[in-house]
Structures are given as structure tokens and as C-alpha cells.
Amino acid sequence: MRAPGQLMSSWSALLCALGVLFSLFSFGFAVKENDFKKCHQSGFCKRNRDYADKAVAQGSSWQAPYKILPTEASFKDGLFQATILKTIDEEGTTVELPLTVAFHKSGTARVTVDEKRRQEKNIELRHSSQARKERYNEAEKWAIVGGTTVDVDAKTSYVGETGIKIQYGPDSTFEASINYNPYSIEFKRDGSAQLKLNDRGLMNLEHWRPKVEKPPAPEKKEGEENAEDKKEEPAPEPVGEDESTWWDESFGGNTDSKPRGPESVALDITFFGYEHVYGIPEHAGPLSLKETRGGDGAYTEPYRLYNSDVFEYILDSPMTLYGAIPLMQAHRKDSTVAVFWLNAAETWIDITKAKESKNPLSLGKGPKTNTQTHWISEAGMMDLFVFLGPTPRDVTKAYGELTGTTAMPQEFSIGYHQCRWNYVSDDDVKEVDRKFDRYQIPYDVIWLDIEYTDEKKYFTWDNDMFKDPISMGQQLDAHGRKLVVIIDPHIKNTGSYPVIDELKSNGLAIKNKDGKDFDGWCWPGSSMWVDCFNPAAIEWWKSLFKYDKFKGTMENTWLWNDMNEPSVFNGPEVTMPKDNLHYGSWEHRDVHNINGLTFHNATYQALLSRKKGELRRPFVLTRSFYSGSQRISAMWTGDNQASWEHLGAAIPMILNQGISGFPFAGADVGGFFGNPEAELQSRWYQAGAFYPFFRGHAHIDARRREPYLLAEPYRNIVTSALRLRYSLLPSWYTAFYQAHQDGSPIIRPMYWTHPSNEGGFAIDNQFFVGSTGILVKPVVEQGKTTEDVYIPDDEVYYNYFTYQRLPTAKGQTLTVDAPIESIPMFMRGGHIFPRRDTPRRSAQLMKFDDYTLVVVIGKDGTAEGQLYTDDGDSFDYQKGEYIHRTFKLEGSKLTSTDADGRDPKSIKGGSWLKNMRNVAVDKIVIIGAPTSWADKKEVRLEAGGKQSTVKLEYFKGDASRGPFAIVGRVGASIGADWAIEFA
Ligand SMILES: *[C@@H]1O[C@H](CO)[C@@H](O)[C@H](O)[C@H]1NC(C)=O
């Protein structure tokens, strides 16, 4: 979190003041926007946009200067290798860019372009820099975990002077058509073009060149830069290339020394016939990404990925936020394809949509829209993966194979988390804990922000305020509750603090451009940053978390990693200078977007090794993230505000995380900055109850707002939302398991669940929960008493609370009642989902409660669903200690069978599984039960080879309730096979 205006150095305060002045006169509220670069202030972005403009202006006479010599190309065992020649002057001088296209068994293709001269370290660095000479090629080390086995069955269907065609993927239905001059690659599926690299010829890889010294330009005066930014006149026509930002560039008083000169990589990618693109989090904007080069409703800036501590962030903006996942999906009716741009440097992405001129042969059909994208990164190799779908599920699955899927969570971590900056003492924590109990409000975790430490020295406690952290932990533990404490990557640079001494003496800090320990400003004042790219730093970090080292922590203490972009208060754009050096002599520029991941990875590793023999799933929350973070952490959307707009903005952001492989996501409930009024807070809990990560949080200046402080009826409304979350924990846990298995989102947008239903493609304010068929449309506007919900198919839908059937309305928007005490929540026919209906204080205390099954009969009379459960804590599930059931209603029979087809006798179990033998299906609620059951009093149950009868109650329905039936006191063990016959 950030405190506005706190601890700023004088220059940034001055800049802030200037920003305020500007904003008063011209920009309204966009103060903080000016702390961060626009494309034209980022040299390589401007150069590449200019390059694109030049290409577009020249139209068909534009000649892309990249080609492959057919004699230099080869294809063997699933690998295409060639050298791309870039022509760099009129004389035809070329530089060599090695190209590899790898075709993987998983159906993805990977295109990698490097630069020979830098590969061979045959360049000179300026300013006697100690940086590496190569282009950064280790992003995969952090992001990629599988899916790269090469498909040796990939084969050519054409080899000629002009190019090569390679068939690969399932039944060879995918094709890559590599064109030699100019270089481009078109990807087809079933013979039809899906996407093309370098379609518009905007590829640009800035090759190494020596600096040619020119007579110095007249010096700029202080402040001139800012004045320049404001000018609206177009820049003068560039003569030749714009070299002004090749060798150094300044922003906000910081100068980047750029020892390797210009080195950006850029490529355009066109998606044919695709009107919607999704992904590339993290941004606060709609799920369906907007155009970025002006026009109606479009942005004028590209989407930016440069992990930053952007506090008071702006909504509906392509501005960068805290994390980066460079995965973009393109979607049209019945087809999804995607591109994953594996690059860790600052990246900008322009998006435009172009209507193709009408094809006279496409009878009746309107002209197709192509989405054109332009990817621009400051440094590194050009390295990207192409996914050809054809479904959103195929894309998320293949991306999950590459970068890993979400970890199985600690079960408590899908309950409710209570946080604020700050609970001021151990007594305060104990009191909050007691109050939750007094008001019978469930929660699982209470959090401590930075103030628990002694002067922001991590791994210490403020001994005056936290006299006895262990007794605090023990009180929480009595009801199965946990404590999360914050540990940030900046280490206070001060005397008599062993952590900083060890960091320095072991040489584990990030270095400045001169190779000295980098010193910057953060919460503790002067600080240094642990460099978790360094394996030795991870080992050291692990040592700090041992219970006997980090005194005051115990088995129920877990971790929060904040500020890991990293946030540096006096650094350029509130982060590190790009010419800082990391382990392996990589510049910070090369690795910036991965930095956050390396830090929460180190913390994850540390939690695995707190005590010998203790092997439990770590819980780590991170603010900064990259592709792969999902394997080891949860994230939240950072410092939002207590406003209705922020409540609304959170849903598309969390949906975007879900489709981008990192579904364990949430937003600060109630809003971090400001004080939500009771209605807003209530609506926020109703929405938050459907965030995969559900945490209330508040700024230090915000008033106390624990749910029990609310006046009625709001306290009751919030308590109901929390209990609803807790009753559905078995379904949430099952959804996490599915995400863990195949990368699927935990809350799912309409395009993902209904890829054929065009009406849903732009809808990003309602979602399904896992595969439960539960459809939710949270209310995010003040004073609303009705809500519009879009129905994506012609299944039957029921109100979750009243069981009343909605009018059938495929493709229509229904208006439903949504007074403050209700959540628009529906059940889709054809699904079965599990619940636990006894309210308790925490998830842990529900562990061995009996289950309720809700069967929602579909149009065709059937229903199906799953339950997955395990001990929620250890890794024993990997050895088979779990329960995974499929429930099916077919004809008149409802069955429970092992979802993985295991023989129950073959499952070796420990104590958890033994306890689960006594956990039963207690109640089955059947929504849409046929009227033919009306006279039934009992049904036959077959379980464990024995027949018995159980009671059935049928409710006809009335004005306030739809018809349903309840089978009561079933008593069948949840892990065992059973069947109920309704006939
Ligand atoms: C995390 O750290 C461990 C070292 O303890 C390392 O083996 C692993 O590759 C790192 N990265 C990720 C993304 O897990």
C-alpha cells in the first residue's frame, strides 16, 4: 500500500505540486498519471510508434527490412531454424537475427528471434558498465514449467524459394506459413488464417550500434522537459531515425544511462476476423480490450506493462499497474486464439480494429473486423508463443501447461480475510477476533500491515504494541484462525539490524549501475533490496523465516509480500533505475516485470522450510506478479478506493486475472482509500463474497470498518454475504481444484463459458462460479433496487434464494429485483454443487461438517457436478489422499461415483481420510423437481451395498418460492459410492 504524500523526497513533492497545478488547469483529477510515462515519454515506445506511423503512411509501398535467405533455412524434428537478415542502410548492409520456430506437442508454437552480435557478446558497453551484453534470455526460467516438448511429427507441406509451410498440432490441423521476404508468419487452423506475425511490417529489432559522438546539443534547463510534454503541436518531421533517446533518457529528474544503447523489440500481430481481444493484465479497464490509437471511445495510449506502485489509480485506463501477464486472447464466435509475449522488460501494446473491405464472395455477411496489435518491449529477445485454440478452455489449458496452474490453496485462504493498515497491537487483534465471535460473523484470517514492525524493520516486532505475539497467534488458533504478516523486499539500511548486515555482507542486495549496493527510499527510509534472482539470496531469505529466527511467528502465521514491483519512493516512476544490476549482471531493465515474482517465490520457498519435516502449502499474497506467479501465490488489485466506480471496476479486473491463468485474485473489499458509506460497504461484501480472494482492507487514515461496526440492517446484510461465502466453500474449493488441474478460471466470464454466444462477448460484470452453474451479477451502483442480468443460453435458470424459475430468455437481459439485502444470484439448470449449511466461525471448524447437495435439474431432466476435497493444508493430496466425486442425475437416478474412477479400496488414507468416513451427505435439495414427485414420501438409497429408504419432502411452491424437493438425512458417506432412485 501507499500513503499519499508520505515520505517523499523533496523533488518528488515539488513535482507533485506541479502536477496538482497542471491538473487544476487542464487534466481534472489525473494527478498521479503524470508520475508515470506516456508512450511519447518512453523513448523506445515513441520510436516504435513513429515507425508504425511511417509504415502506415507509406501504405503498400512500405518495405519491411526483414528477410530470410532460403538457403539459410532448415526444418528438422519440429524445429525451424533460419537467420533473419535486417537491412539497415541504403547500401544493403544487414545484421543477423537468429530465428527459431519450435512446434510443441502441446499444440503451441514458439517463435524466438535473437541478435547474433549481442548473443556473441560482440558489442561495447558505454560508461564502463558491468551489465551483460546479451539480450535477456532467462524469462523462461521463471515463467515456463512445461509444454515445450517438441513435436517431431510436425511436417512440411510446402518448401520453396518464397517460404515454408509446416503442419502441426492435433491431427496436423494447425499450419505455420513462414514467408521469407519480407519475413512474416501466418498461422492457420483447418486451412483458415487466424493470426499473422509481422502482417503490417512493423517488426523492429533495434540492433546494436556504436555511439557516434556528435557535437553536444545546447543544455536543457530545469523543468523544460515538463513544459515540453504539455505542448500539443506535432513533433517536427523526423529526418532519418530519431536518435534523441538512444543513449540516455531522463524522466522526472532521473537519468537512465542505457549502456547498451537502443535495443527494443517490436512486432505487429493481426488477428483475422477477431473483434474481441482479452487479457494482458494488469489494467483497470473493461475485459474486452479497447483500441489505443484514438477514435470513438478509444484510448490514445497503448496498454502498458511495467509493474508499478500506482496509488490512487485511474479507472478505464491502459496505464500500467502492479503486475504483468503478457498473454492476449482473441475471440470470435466459436474460435479463440492467443499470443503469449514472453518478455520481462517494459512493454507497450497498441490495439486497433480494422474492418476488412467487403468481400463480394462473402454473401450476406458483413465485412470482417481484424484486430491489429503492436507489441513493443524495451529489451530482451523476441520470444512468443502462439495458441490456436479453438476454445477459450483450450487456450487456458495450454497456457497452464506452459506457465503452471494455480496452486492448491490453503483451505482457510478461500475464507474471509480481515485486514487494515493497521491493527495497532496484539490486544487490538484479540479484541477484533472476539468481536467477530460476539457478532457471529465468520472469518479466517486477520492481517498485520507494516506498523507491527519495529520501525519497518521486517522480521522484528514493535515490542511496545505487540508484547506477546505468540499469545495472539494462540488465541486465533483456538478457532482455527490465522495471522498474516507483511514482509516487503526493502530492508532498512540502519545500524544494529542483523538483517541489513547479512544482506550487505553476503552481497545479496540489488546493485546500482556502478555495482555498489543500491540505496533507495521506501517505508523505512533509506533501504536496500534483496535480489531474489540470486539463488543465494533465496537461501538466505529462507533462513529468516525459521520459527526460531522470526520470533513471534508460529504455524498459523502466513505471509503478505507488498511493494515488490519494487516500489522505490525516490526512483524513476516510483521504482528502480533501469540501469541497476541484478544477479547475473542483468540490468533491472531486462527483468523488471519478473522482479515481483522472484520475491514472492523466495517467500514461498521460505514458508516451505520454516521447520524440518513440516510440509504445508504456503500462503503468500503478492501485489506484483508475472506469468507463473499463480503457481505460488494469490494477488489483489492493489490500492483501490472506497467508491462505487472502484467496486464496479474490480469485477472485470478479477475476471481478467482468471482468464489469464492467475485466478486467485481479489480487490480490497470496501476500498483501500476513503470511507465507504454503509450501502457501498454492504454491496462490496456482496460482490467480494465472489472474489476468489476475499479480503477487507482499509488505509491507515480510514475509519474502522470491521463488519460488526455496521448498523443494522447493514450488519446483517454483510453477515449474510459472509455466511453465503462460507456455505459455498466446498464449491469454491472444487473450483480451485479445477483451476489447479487445467488452468480454468475460478470465476468465469460469459465468452469463456459460452464461446458461441456473441451477445456475451463484451459482458464483464457478471460471471459463473467455477462449473457450479451459479451465475452472479453483483450490484455495483448506488441506490439500485433492480439489476439486469444477461442470459447466455436457453437453459433454465432459477433464483438462488427463492428457487423461482426465470422466464426463459436466451440472449436477453432480464431485469430482476435486487434490493440492498439481496444478491442477484442464479442457478443454471443441469448442475449439482456442494454446500455446508451450518454456519461456523471459520473454515477450519467446518472441515468435518456434513454436506448439502443442490441439484438443479436441467431442461433435459439431467444434472451433473463435482466435489473435490482434501485436508486443505498438506501436500498429501498428491499421494492420492483426497475425495473427488462426480454427482449425476440421469433418468430417475442420482449417483455419486469417484470422479477419477478409483477403487475406494485402493485409496490409502491418513487421519484426514479416516475422519472423512464419518462425514456424510446430509441433505439434497432438488430444484425444479418434477410434479410427479408431489405424492412421494420417501426414496430408495443404495449405499455400501445396503438398501434403505430416506425421507423426501416435496414443496409445490407458492408466491415466494419455486417448487423443490428435499431428501433429508441421507447419511451416505461423502467419499463412498451411493445412488438414490426417485422412481
Ligand atoms: C523459486 O525458487 C526456487 C529456489 O528455492 C527455484 O528452484 C525456483 O525455480 C524458483 N522459481 C519459481 C518460479 O518457482
101: β partners: 80, 111
Considering the candidates 33, 115, 565, 573, report the single residue annotated as catalytic.
565
- 463 and 399 fall within a common domain: no
CATH number for the domain spanning 657: value is 3.20.20.80
Q: Whose CA is nearest to atom 1 of ligand 1?
A: 601
Distance 539 CA to ligand 1 centre (A): 11
Q: Whose CA is nearest to atom 14 of ligand 1?
A: 601
Of 145, 406, 538, the residue with max ligand 1 atoms within 8 A of its CB, to mutate for a pocket test, comes to 538
Distance 136 CA to ligand 1 centre (A): 18
Q: Classify 61 as helix, strand or coil.
A: helix
The Cα 120–Cα 459 span in angstroms is 44
Q: Classify 476 as helix, strand or coil.
A: helix
On the question of pLDDT at 357 being above 80, the answer is no
- 601 and 657 fall within a common domain: yes
Which of 240-244, 350-354, 914-918, 954-958 is predicted least confidently? 240-244
CATH number for the domain spanning 386: value is 2.60.40.1760
Q: Classify 53 as helix, strand or coil.
A: helix
On the question of pLDDT at 223 being above 90, the answer is no
- 847 and 975 fall within a common domain: yes
Distance 146 CA to ligand 1 centre (A): 14
pLDDT at position 237? 44
The Cα 309–Cα 293 span in angstroms is 25
Mind giving me the DSSP string for 120-142?
TT-S--STT----SSPP--HHHH
- Which ligand 1 atom sits closest to the C-alpha of 628? 13
Active site residue 562: yes
The Cα 193–Cα 213 span in angstroms is 47
Distance 661 CA to ligand 1 centre (A): 19
Q: Are strands 445-448 and 557-561 parallel, antiparallel or unpaired?
A: unpaired
Res. 959 pLDDT band, cuts 50 70 90: confident
- Intra-chain end-to-end CA distance of the chain, in Å: 59
The Cα 189–Cα 177 span in angstroms is 11
Q: Is residue 513 part of a domain?
A: no
Distance 601 CA to ligand 1 centre (A): 6
pLDDT at position 944? 86
pLDDT at position 364? 56
The Cα 336–Cα 618 span in angstroms is 34
Closest to 414 (Cα-Cα) out of 827, 695, 602:
695
Mean pLDDT of 863-889: 97
The Cα 519–Cα 803 span in angstroms is 61
Mean pLDDT of 735-759: 98
Count the neighbouring beta carbons within 10 Å of the beta carbon of residue 962. 18
Element (H, E) at 482: strand 482-486
Element (H, E) at 437: helix 426-438
Active site residue 639: yes
Mean pLDDT of 645-650: 98
* Identity of the residue numbered 512: N
Res. 311 pLDDT band, cuts 50 70 90: confident
- Which ligand 1 atom sits closest to the C-alpha of 141? 9
Q: Whose CA is nearest to atom 10 of ligand 1?
A: 601
- 99 and 137 fall within a common domain: yes
416: β partners: 694
Percent of the chain with pLDDT over 90: 89
Distance 536 CA to ligand 1 centre (A): 12
pLDDT at position 217? 62
* Identity of the residue numbered 376: I
The Cα 178–Cα 85 span in angstroms is 15
On the question of pLDDT at 719 being above 50, the answer is yes
- 316 and 199 fall within a common domain: yes
- Which ligand 1 atom sits closest to the C-alpha of 601? 1
On the question of pLDDT at 137 being above 70, the answer is yes
On the question of pLDDT at 495 being above 90, the answer is yes
Mean pLDDT of 365-393: 95
Considering only residues 252 and 388, tell me which one the structure prediction assigns the higher pLDDT.
388
CB 130 within 8 A of CB 581: yes
**Ligand 1 interacting residues, C-beta cut-off 6 A:** 142, 538, 601, 605, 628
Considering the candidates 199, 263, 309, 639, report the single residue annotated as catalytic.
639
Q: Are strands 79-87 and 74-76 parallel, antiparallel or unpaired?
A: antiparallel
On the question of pLDDT at 239 being above 60, the answer is no
Of 530, 603, 605, 627, the residue with max ligand 1 atoms within 8 A of its CB, to mutate for a pocket test, comes to 605
Mean pLDDT over each residue of the chain, to the nearest integer: 93
Distance 983 CA to ligand 1 centre (A): 56
Q: What is the rounded (10 degree) CA torsion for 568, 571, 223, 9? A: 50
The Cα 524–Cα 417 span in angstroms is 26
Per-residue pLDDT of 530-557, as tens digits, reads 999 999 999 999 999 999 999 999 999 9
- Which ligand 1 atom sits closest to the C-alpha of 145? 13
The Cα 186–Cα 188 span in angstroms is 7
On the question of pLDDT at 358 being above 90, the answer is no
Closest to 119 (Cα-Cα) out of 259, 245, 263, 247:
263
* Longest CA pairwise span in the chain (Å): 98
pTM of the model: 0.94
Res. 23 pLDDT band, cuts 50 70 90: very low
Q: Is residue 506 part of a domain?
A: no
Closest to 105 (Cα-Cα) out of 402, 356, 346:
402
pLDDT at position 9? 39
- 567 and 658 fall within a common domain: yes
Res. 227 pLDDT band, cuts 50 70 90: very low
CB 385 within 8 A of CB 661: no
Q: Classify 597 as helix, strand or coil.
A: helix
Domain range for residue 305? 46-208+260-358+366-403
Which of 367-371, 392-396, 565-569, 641-645 is predicted least confidently? 367-371
CB 562 within 8 A of CB 625: no
Q: Is residue 218 part of a domain?
A: no
Distance 597 CA to ligand 1 centre (A): 10
For helices 729-742 and 714-727, the axis angle rounded to 10 degrees is 50
Per-residue pLDDT of 894-904, as tens digits, reads 999 999 999 87
pLDDT at position 363? 56
Q: Is 819 exposed, middle or buried (0-12, 13-18, 19+ CB in 10 A)?
A: exposed
Res. 906 pLDDT band, cuts 50 70 90: confident
CATH number for the domain spanning 849: value is 2.60.40.1180
Mean pLDDT of 250-275: 96
Q: Is residue 508 part of a domain?
A: no
Q: Whose CA is nearest to atom 9 of ligand 1?
A: 142
Which of 246-255, 334-343, 777-786 is predicted least confidently? 246-255
Per-residue pLDDT of 841-853, as tens digits, reads 999 999 999 999 9
pLDDT at position 12? 42
Active site residue 922: no
* Identity of the residue numbered 474: Q
* Identity of the residue numbered 497: Y
Mean pLDDT of 303-315: 93
Mean pLDDT of 589-611: 98
Q: Is residue 243 part of a domain?
A: no
pLDDT at position 905? 77
- 352 and 425 fall within a common domain: no
* Number of structural domains in the chain: 3
Q: Are strands 767-769 and 490-492 parallel, antiparallel or unpaired?
A: unpaired
Distance 151 CA to ligand 1 centre (A): 27
- 793 and 842 fall within a common domain: yes
- Out of 380, 403, 426, pick the residue that ends a domain: 403
pLDDT at position 499? 98
Q: Is 711 exposed, middle or buried (0-12, 13-18, 19+ CB in 10 A)?
A: exposed
- Which ligand 1 atom sits closest to the C-alpha of 542? 5
On the question of pLDDT at 20 being above 80, the answer is no
* Identity of the residue numbered 92: G
- 70 and 193 fall within a common domain: yes
Q: Is residue 287 part of a domain?
A: yes
Q: Is residue 19 part of a domain?
A: no
Tallying the residues shown for the chain, one arrives at 983
Considering the candidates 115, 562, 871, 922, report the single residue annotated as catalytic.
562
- What are the grid coordinates assigned to 460, written together? 522484528
- Out of 403, 426, 460, pick the residue that ends a domain: 403
Res. 498 pLDDT band, cuts 50 70 90: very high
Residues with Cβ within 8 Å of 243's Cβ and at least 6 positions away in sequence, in order, are none
Distance 569 CA to ligand 1 centre (A): 28
Distance 604 CA to ligand 1 centre (A): 9
Considering only residues 498 and 11, tell me which one the structure prediction assigns the higher pLDDT.
498
Mean pLDDT of 855-870: 98
- Which ligand 1 atom sits closest to the C-alpha of 142? 13
Residue linked to cell 472444487: 734
Mind giving me the DSSP string for 622-684?
ESS--TTGGGT-EEE--S-BSSHHHHHHHHHHHHHHHHTT---EE--BT-SBS---HHHHHHH
Res. 907 pLDDT band, cuts 50 70 90: confident
Of 140, 544, 583, 601, the residue with max ligand 1 atoms within 8 A of its CB, to mutate for a pocket test, comes to 601
pLDDT at position 903? 86
- 170 and 104 fall within a common domain: yes
Per-residue pLDDT of 440-457, as tens digits, reads 999 999 999 999 999 999
pLDDT at position 359? 58
- 558 and 684 fall within a common domain: yes
- Which ligand 1 atom sits closest to the C-alpha of 143? 13
Q: Is residue 2 part of a domain?
A: no
- 872 and 911 fall within a common domain: yes
Closest to 422 (Cα-Cα) out of 719, 843, 3:
3
Residues with Cβ within 8 Å of 208's Cβ and at least 6 positions away in sequence, in order, are 115, 117, 118, 123, 260, 261, 263
- Out of 656, 680, 708, pick the residue that ends a domain: 708
Count the neighbouring beta carbons within 10 Å of the beta carbon of residue 763. 23
pLDDT at position 503? 98
